[in-house]
Amino acid sequence: MKRREAQEPAAKPARERVYLHVREQILRGRFVGGSFIEEEQISSVMGVSRTPVREAFHRLEAERFIDLLPRRGALVRQVTAQELADLYETRRMIEGYAVARICQQKIAVPVEMAVILDEIENVAGGDHFERVELNRRFHFTMIAALGNDVLSELYQSLGSRQQRVAMTALSADPNRIDRIRIEHHALLAALNEHNEIKARAVLEQHLRPVVGVVSRLPGYAFAAGDDDAA
């Protein structure tokens, strides 16, 4: 029994397990922005050699979770206020385009979007990590419905910032969960109706910077009167 249990974690390659572990720790805020992650520390915790740790670090750097600094190690990236503003602007452009295409061309809305919303409803109250993962899938599924692989890859590249911002927002104000749920269902309903005006209005509200989050980030310079959003 003990031997079988010990073998289960090895089902995935070591580099994949290290990648998932470090990524989750960053998203949960256990490895905070501006701090360094030591190869030896991760190697010891995960019970692997340094080679898969280095491989995982390179992937995390490519996804902008960390910066690898010569002779210093892996520095957890800090999302700045300007990056967050740029992120929301970029998402509004990409997702707004997806909404327009779906509604104007009467593209079938993926059934998976409704399935994901049901999964989100079943997430335990305090598990923001799983909720954020599902939220990303919900929005990505809408983009993927266009069948444009280049656009899908571009949207995927926003993942690390998108997830870290969402984790920060929910941790700062868990009451936002209800508002996000309502907006998700409203967006899906508008898409199923192929009502572009309604869908765009929901999306614009959904993708506005959250001042309560932005104000905590390095480089905050937004006007105090900006509205909160999802």
Query: Topology of domain 81-214, per CATH?
Result: Four Helix Bundle (Hemerythrin (Met), subunit A) (1.20.120)
Please write the tens of the pLDDT for every residue from 163-210. 888 887 777 677 788 899 999 999 999 999 999 999 999 999 999 876
Please write the tens of the pLDDT for every residue from 111-158. 999 999 999 999 877 778 899 999 999 999 999 999 999 999 999 988
pLDDT score for 22: 95
The domain segmentation of the chain, as residue ranges, is: 2-76, 81-214
Please, which pLDDT band fits residue 4 given cuts at 50, 70 and 90? very low
3-state secondary structure the chain: CHHHHHHHHHHCCHHHHHHHHHHHHHHCCCCCCCCEECHHHHHHHHCCCHHHHHHHHHHHHHCCCEEEECCCEEEECCCCHHHHHHHHHHHHHHHHHHHHHHHHCCCCCCHHHHHHHHHHHCCCCCCHHHHHHHHHHHHHHHHHCCCCHHHHHHHHCCHHHHHHHHHHHHHHCCCHHHHHHHHHHHHHHHHHCCCHHHHHHHHHHHCCCCHHHHCCCCCCCCCCCCCCCC
Please write the tens of the pLDDT for every residue from 32-69. 888 999 999 999 999 999 999 999 999 999 888 999 99
Query: Topology of domain 2-76, per CATH?
Result: Arc Repressor Mutant, subunit A (1.10.10)
Please, which pLDDT band fits residue 228 given cuts at 50, 70 and 90? very low
